[in-house]
Amino acid sequence: MKISKNKRNTEVRVLTKNLKMSTQKMRRVIDQIRGCSYAQAYTLLKLMPYRACYPIFQLLCSAGANAKNNLGLKEKFLFISRAEVNEGTVSKKYQIRAKGRSFRIKKKTCHITIVLKELSNLIEFEISENLKRKISQYGT
């Protein structure tokens, strides 16, 4: 896990390597959650019926926990700024077939990277401005 903290925004980067699943199957799920908020992606991954959702769900939960515990970020302000799936190593096996022939099986792996960012400063500023306007309207 790589954590980088800037003045403007904070990001948490988590990755997993050599996950034994095809990149095409993973990309089908990653494309659905890219750009979503943390809570929305959490719900989507819980409800999707694909086998590829579980490792991504674990990775997202790990990223959220790291953001909360290590950096003190609020989960409701996190969103997925970058999510990518890359090809890993391919192991080759041979399966025995009829008449003394063999058949090659490719076991594919993939690497997943998820980057969460927080925009709390902008959102808190907007919320405080809206609260000030409402308070001034109602005089409370």
User: Can you give the CATH number for the domain in which 38 is found?
Assistant: 3.90.470.10
Q: Which letter does DSSP use for residue 8 in this model?
A: S
Total of domains in the chain: 1
pTM of the model: 0.75
Q: How far apart are alpha carbons 51 and 5 in whole angstroms?
A: 33
**CA nearest to 115, candidates 82, 79, 85:** 82
Structure tokens that stand for 88 in this block: 């890993």
Q: Which residue range(s) make up the domain with 53?
A: 2-138
**CA nearest to 80, candidates 38, 44, 42:** 38
pLDDT > 90 in the chain, percent: 61
Digit-coded pLDDT (tens) for 11-70:
899 999 999 999 999 999 999 999 888 999 999 999 999 999 999 999 999 999 999 998
